[in-house]
Amino acid sequence: FSIEKKEGFDSATTFIKVQSSPIFSQSPSRNPSSPNFPQRKRQNTTVIVGSLLGTIFGVFLIFSFLFLRSKNGFQEYEEDYLDNMLGMPTRFSYEELKNVTNNFSNKLGEGGFGSVFRGILPSGSEVAVKHLVGFGPVNKSFTAEVQTIGSIHHFNLVTLVGFCAEKSNRLLVYEYMANGSLDQWIFNKNQEPALGWQIRKKIILDIAKGLAYLHEECNQKILHLDIKSQNILLDENFNAKVSDFGLSKLIGRDQSRVVTTMRGTPGYMAPEWLSSVITEKVDVYSFGIVVLEILCGRQNFDSSQQEEDRHLVGLFRRKQEMGQLMDLVDKCSDDMLSNAAEVVEMMKVAAWCLQTEYVRRPSMSIVVKLFEGSVDVVGNMNEEDFLNGLTHEAMETFVSTVLPSMLSGP
């Protein structure tokens, strides 16, 4: 670089040397035309992606740690809570129940929350061990079951022999019921012999007695909230016992109604569940559905039937209007058919339990008196009540479309 200056005849030329700054010089590595540039670009991308993945993994580890600590803390709290409850049944270790069930080898059944296994206690007593699987709703179901029936006893309620709450293991130990659940006897058309009228009548009375005890004779009112044929168990003499209290709720004797989240099984749920404000009469409604199933020998919803006959309540209503209730009597049992007149009278009790307005349904203690003959159904429900309760449009719509917010367990 040069500067030339002329003044008159004198002239001078100045040369200035400029040093290139390394800041502005273009190194070969940053030159896009350089052969090393793509390699360096890939290396930078790898570093960025690696850092991002490392950050995500670190956050995941932190949340996993917090979750496990929270879960372990809840489990410890639950174990301490159960230890401090009075009148609790026997507490077993997980190893003890593995031995009792021969390493859970004899499965009796399976449901949404786990499996049930047959076992034999050291005393020689047979038991059914329910092994719950999962978190959240399962823990709530376990606690509700132990809290509800752990300290109460009634002949028509399944006895909770013991339980296990050890780390993540949650197991319930019940008395063994040799004849299984009611649904296997009334819905299985190949079942031989079919249940006769006297046995079915006794089963209905047993269920009513169990519910009356829960609603009216315990220190706290107990709402079962999942009465259905699958939750009625039968012993070797066909004595019926109410089981599965995983969705149950305890309320004070001075409480007439309670607000709670919707729970139960579609087809057995009372219309007032839509408002979430319920009473013990939701169990009365479910009981009415079970009575119809026992008398008719079919499920409340049967997809194998013609479309207009799929919903048992709607079919029952139409047959009553036509004076053809005897058409609904279970035809798989000759004994039921020969006692059809008595069966139809029992259907009227079911109709009373299925009134759309819960205040018009009877209490379970009244139902027991009806079945024992100390109260006359005719004197407590007229024909207009019978018809109005079953022709209400909301009932059929509810039975066919509502879905529960919490599925029932095994």
pLDDT digit string, tens, across residues 224-266: 999 999 999 999 999 999 999 988 998 888 888 888 888 899 9
* Contact of 402 with 269, CB cutoff 8 Å: yes
The one catalytic residue in 226, 244, 283, 330 is: 226
| pLDDT at residue 393 in the model | 43
The predicted pLDDT at position 395 comes to 43
Tokens of residue 226, six digits: 């999942």
CA angle centred on 206, ends 201 and 210, rounded to 5°: 150
Average pLDDT of the chain to the nearest whole number: 81
**What token pair was written down for 240?**
């019926």
Check residue 227 and give its pLDDT. 98
The reported pLDDT for the residue numbered 34 is: 57
Q: What is the mean pLDDT of residues 151-177?
A: 94
The residue-averaged pLDDT of 155-183 equals 95
Measured over all CA atoms, what is the biggest interatomic distance in the chain, rounded to whole angstroms? Answer: 146
| pLDDT surpassing 50 at residue 404 | no
Percent above pLDDT 90 for the chain: 50
Active-site residue, 226 included: yes
80-108: average pLDDT: 83
22-31, 150-159, 191-200, 328-337 — which is least confidently predicted?
22-31
Tens digits of per-residue pLDDT, 258-311?
A: 888 888 999 999 999 988 889 999 999 999 999 999 999 999 999 888 888 999
Question: Among candidates 155, 135, 158, which has minimal Cα distance to 145?
Answer: 158
* Whole-angstrom distance, CA of residue 43 vs CA of residue 369: 85
Q: Which of 56-70, 77-91, 112-126 has the highest average model confidence (pLDDT)?
A: 112-126
* Residues contacting 113, CB < 8 A, separation 6+: 132, 133, 134, 137, 138, 141, 246, 409, 410
**Which residues are paired to 277 by β-bridges?**
259
* Gyration radius from the chain CA atoms: 35
Burial environment of residue 284 by CB neighbours within 10 A (0 to 12, 13 to 18, 19 or more) = buried
Contact criterion met (CB below 8 Å) for 164 and 93: yes
48-62, 128-142, 237-251, 306-320: which has the minimum mean pLDDT?
48-62
Q: What pLDDT, on a 0 to 100 scale, did the predictor assign at position 58?
A: 77
If you ran DSSP here, which 8-state letter would residue 167 be given? T
Distance CA 196, CA 117 (A): 29
**Tens digit of each residue's pLDDT (9 = 90 or more) over 352-385:** 999 999 999 999 999 999 888 877 655 445 455 5
**93: buried, middle or exposed (CB in 10 Å: 19+, 13-18, 0-12)?**
exposed
* Per-residue pLDDT band at 154 (split at 50, 70, 90): very high
Give the pLDDT band (50/70/90) at residue 48: confident
Q: Residue 402: its pLDDT value, please? A: 40
Band (pLDDT 50/70/90 cuts) for residue 407 is: very low
Residue 354 near residue 300 (C-beta atoms within 8 A): no
Q: Is 130 annotated as a binding residue?
A: yes
Q: Which fold has domain 90-175?
A: Phosphorylase Kinase; domain 1 (3.30.200)
Q: Residue with structure tokens 């709720």?
A: 249
DSSP string, 235-278: -TT--EEE---TT-EEE-TT-S-EE----S-TTS--GGGGGTEE
CATH class belonging to 183-401: mainly alpha
Percent of the chain with pLDDT over 70: 74
Topology alike, domains 90-175 and 183-401: no
CB 243 within 8 A of CB 228: no
- Domain extents for the chain? 90-175, 183-401
Predicted TM-score of the model (pTM) = 0.75
42 against 164, higher pLDDT: 164
What's the rounded mean pLDDT across residues 343-356?
Answer: 93
Q: Which of 12-21, 262-271, 373-382, 392-401 has the lowest average pLDDT?
A: 392-401
Reported as a pLDDT band with limits 50, 70 and 90, residue 391 is: very low
CB 282 within 8 A of CB 247: no
Using DSSP, how many helices (H) and how many strands (E) does the chain show? 12, 14
Measure Cα distances from 388 to 26, 272, 393 in Å: 93, 16, 10
pLDDT over 50 at 394, yes or no: no
- Please, are residues 289 and 270 in contact by the beta-carbon 8 Å criterion? no
Q: CB-based burial of residue 42 (10 Å sphere; 0-12 exposed, 13-18 middle, 19+ buried)? A: exposed
Q: How far is CA 70 from CA 62, 63, 64, 167, 169, in A?
A: 12, 10, 10, 13, 16
Report which listed range, 208-212, 301-305, 347-351, 394-398, is most confident.
208-212
Determine the 3-state secondary structure of 152 from DSSP.
coil
Residue with tokens 């978190």: 135
- For 5, list phi and psi in degrees, rounded to 5: -125, 135
Which residue, among 260, 181, 184, has the nearest Cα to 227 in the 3D structure? 181
